[in-house]
Amino acid sequence: MTTSLMRLSLTLLLIMLVTSEISDGEFQEWCIADEQSLDEDLQAALDWACGKGGSDCSKIQFNQSCYIPNTLIDHASYAFNNYFQKFKHNGGSCYFKGAAITTEVDPSSRGCQFEYLP
């Protein structure tokens, strides 16, 4: 690798690291439904998250800010993230039996704000 190519690579890596960190140096991370998951797995995980899991699923109810788009994957993503943000510092994970993944890209859209807690 040439010196200029190495410098460019290091510069790009540094830019990526700096832009994906928040001011205190912590990476922002959200939990969303994995698009490759089966609907029945997503539904079971959503039911758990909104029930025993303790997610606040009120915003994905009819006429609420995160109801639209009214899809299983969007509602599951909201519920999974709500759970993850509430419990990530107390042992909660973004696993949901393989139905969820983490992302550094804010999944909020169209008036539906996905919570992020440092």
Q: What is the pLDDT of residues 78-94, one digit of tens each?
A: 999 999 999 999 999 99
For the whole model, what pTM was predicted?
A: 0.79
Q: Are 70 and 37 in contact (CB under 8 A)?
A: no
Name the band, by pLDDT with cuts 50, 70 and 90, for residue 110. confident
For 53, list phi and psi in degrees, rounded to 5.
Answer: -70, -25
Please state the rounded mean pLDDT for residues 42-70: 97
Residue 26 confidence (pLDDT): 67
In 3D space, the residue among 103, 112, 93 whose CA is nearest the CA of residue 53 turns out to be: 93
pLDDT of 53 higher than 70: yes
Mean pLDDT for 43-58 is 98
Q: How many CB atoms lie within 10 A of CB 4?
A: 8
Model confidence band, residue 30 (pLDDT cutoffs 50, 70, 90): very high
Q: What does the pLDDT read at residue 14?
A: 42
CA 34 to chain centroid: 10
